[in-house]
Structure 1
């Protein structure tokens, strides 16, 4: 942080319903090194006292969904001044082209759909009523209790690669009735505030609005994080992002203060020998694979980076030629012309000289690139770069699956069921038809969990056996001991 630069792009904060503007501090965006200015963070305003129940606690879920749906309508409206201003500012700090950013933000509003939001809740909670009230229960011994999915206090560490995550995070924070503090990224210190300003324009006093805060500080800034990252103030950190972002959080974890991590993942594709049955099937497989590589111009975790192809060298090269042509076309259509960074260019230029082991299709100028190899390359393919790995059998590709493998696009579709158990055993979290890495079935697990179920603070009120209900069923001491041993 430095003294402010009056030419820097301004990034205001939003704290519990109030907009905070100022140019007290300047920062640099992660990818482009562009300067932006923020107010000084008032830590006391970022904390909602535990002596006060969360503002959304007793707001019915149906009313929350109504408000989110109206927010989605406002985000999509072409005259929304907050979103227009947000995209203007973000275009200066983000690596993605303005049209891609605009499409991401506006398209993310589709998440604010009534049926979608209701489905997400129903898939995450066996009994969604627990969000609205204390649900009565009675076990087989006669003991009575009440259980509630209590409104949590959450810090959301947002990613810089996808501005659409801000819409989803705000919606999920509202659905679980949380008190939310959003730490924005240096690539996008704008979108979350624009969403919250849109909400405040609908109703500045709505409990959703007063439950939300969005600010920026440099990740790892101990002067901020050692104050905020405490169980006295928050229950959980919901962290997206790379290894450094997660490492900044982990050191503060302890009893009563938990991490829900959407940590770095790598997605891949698996293409069977059936792709070479005809020219049409080869074209189809290449097109579908290119679609998965180019999700958010390969900035998203679901974007494929390694394509395992069941083929000999000649067929693998035929596939690479067609895949490269389609990546180039998609990159050109997006307007994304960023060249690869220097280190990646140097590594790929070195590989291009090793003709026996590698073959490079394209150039490192940012127009799209494919590297063919017999083993996965030891760098992280990014910025429209795919590594096609030739294997004799897709069985050989399974050994490369691990817990960091998120999405696997598979072709032909008829072989997916034969591999899903082995892929899950390796640690993979999602298998889809090739070409469908981007869309997801509504309400499905994400990163091998149901996130909203983990966000809430599960609270039990046990009321014993009421008089006159009869004697409780005897439970063996060993069973009670086993239950207590889990505490």
Structure 2
């Protein structure tokens, strides 16, 4: 049995404890110990509702410092996040490293400015009153935003947290069982950079069970909610949300690939298309909403399948599949058997970790 520990961050302050235990059965058994919320924590979170008078560029400068630290794979909070996330998500260390490399690129001035310009049109709206036609316009913080995060992709649901920061709100992250470490360690990074910075003091990252009274309390003090996850998780959040509170849901998605016959005209085009398709397929072991589950391929599809197998063999050398449970392996075997009985064709990568059914 391997034991791991992770604190909470509440308004920039660290709370440690071993009140809660999350267990994971991977190649060996793991127990992750965390503290638990109390009413004093809720009161503290409720006392802060916005970042204050910082300009957008001052906020971006602070976030970029966190990005600079996370570019170093040996940085202590990234190392802790990677150790725990590899266990809780079940993804390979290479997949986690790729996610955190991407996070460090997201925490970049050019990227964050472009993100705001796309979403807000003019970032000056966030700092001051701006003349727009006959009206003066100024975007003000909503207040406390509760982010109910999903654990299948360490990076994606953090986007709503970053937007919450950039729009000067106070942010509460309800971290998921599947990935409690990424959000907490990012908040710990903010604290390390400057424990008194407004971004630090307005950030909280906590784990709380879905049936806990304290989760209900977090919904009660929220001025807005961003919820990520499957259909049942989204509906559960919607039921907990107070009437009139803005609710943004990022629910279940299905992704597809479309492969047209033009790729067969040239071997180079075929290999390029197969490699790009393989990269999409292996990302997050197909647990992400952007992971293609079905591909519609124009004939001769067998030619594409053979090229795809070769591409998967190549991609798996640097992005191997993570942990696969006995139940998942049994389901894959059943699907392959059913396909063969139905006169389908089954293709497998060299490692047998990727299966294509035609």
**What TM-score do you get using the length of structure 1 for normalisation?**
0.67
Instruction: Check the 8 A contact 1:15/1:214 in 2, yes or no.
Output: yes
Q: CA deviation at 1:93?
A: 2.2
Structure 2 equivalent of residue 18 of structure 1: 13
Question: Which deviates more from structure 2 when the two are superposed, residues 93-102 or residues 194-203?
Answer: 93-102
Structure 1 equivalent of residue 334 of structure 2: 346
Q: 1:171 and 1:102 mapped to 2: Cα distance?
A: 20
Q: 2:219 and 2:49 mapped to 1: Cα distance?
A: 20
Q: In the TM superposition, what whole-angstrom CA distance separates every residue of 1:101-122 from its partner, at most 9, and x where no partner exists?
A: 1231133110011111111111
Q: In the TM superposition, what whole-angstrom CA distance separates every residue of 1:343-383 from its partner, at most 9, and x where no partner exists?
A: 3432332222211xx221128975211011xxxxxxxxxxx
Structure 2 equivalent of residue 235 of structure 1: 223
Structure 2 equivalent of residue 129 of structure 1: 124
Q: 1:264 and 1:137 mapped to 2: Cα distance?
A: 37
Q: In the TM superposition, what whole-angstrom CA distance separates every residue of 1:377-414 from its partner, at most 9, and x where no partner exists?
A: xxxxxxxxxxxxxxxxxxxxxxxxxxxxxxxxxxxxxx
**Measured at CA, do residues 7 and 316 of structure 1 come closer, stay the same or move farther in structure 2, by a change above 3 Å?**
closer
Structure 2 equivalent of residue 334 of structure 1: 319
Question: Which deviates more from structure 2 when the two are superposed, residues 79-88 or residues 163-172?
Answer: 163-172
Matches of residues 49-64 of structure 1 in structure 2 within 5 Å?
Answer: 53-54=49-50, 56-64=51-59
Structure 1 or 2, whichever has the larger Rg, is 1
Q: Secondary structure at the match of 1:334?
A: coil
Q: 2:296 and 2:217 mapped to 1: Cα distance?
A: 46
Q: 1:337 and 1:200 mapped to 2: Cα distance?
A: 31
Q: Secondary structure at the match of 1:268?
A: strand
Q: 2:22 and 2:260 mapped to 1: Cα distance?
A: 48
Q: Secondary structure at the match of 1:149?
A: coil
**Measured at CA, do residues 49 and 209 of structure 1 come closer, stay the same or move farther in structure 2, by a change above 3 Å?**
closer
Q: 2:242 and 2:158 mapped to 1: Cα distance?
A: 29
Residue 195 (1) aligns with residue 186 (2):
yes
Matches of residues 271-420 of structure 1 in structure 2 within 5 Å?
Answer: 271-311=259-299, 315-336=300-321, 338-339=323-324, 340-355=328-343, 358-362=344-348, 366-372=352-358
**Measured at CA, do residues 167 and 304 of structure 1 come closer, stay the same or move farther in structure 2, by a change above 3 Å?**
same
**Measured at CA, do residues 166 and 273 of structure 1 come closer, stay the same or move farther in structure 2, by a change above 3 Å?**
closer
Aligned-residue Cα RMSD (Å) equals 2.7
Q: CA deviation at 1:158?
A: 1.5
Q: CA deviation at 1:336?
A: 2.1
Instruction: Check the 8 A contact 2:3/2:32 in 1, yes or no.
Output: yes
Instruction: Check the 8 A contact 2:142/2:223 in 1, yes or no.
Output: no
Question: Which deviates more from structure 2 when the two are superposed, residues 96-105 or residues 200-209?
Answer: 96-105
Q: 2:48 and 2:213 mapped to 1: Cα distance?
A: 26
**What TM-score do you get using the length of structure 2 for normalisation?**
0.89
Q: CA deviation at 1:132?
A: 1.6
Structure 1 equivalent of residue 239 of structure 2: 251
**Measured at CA, do residues 196 and 346 of structure 1 come closer, stay the same or move farther in structure 2, by a change above 3 Å?**
same
Instruction: Check the 8 A contact 1:328/1:367 in 2, yes or no.
Output: no
Q: Secondary structure at the match of 2:105?
A: helix
86, 109, 118: which one aligns with 2:104: 109
The alignment covers a number of residue pairs equal to 354
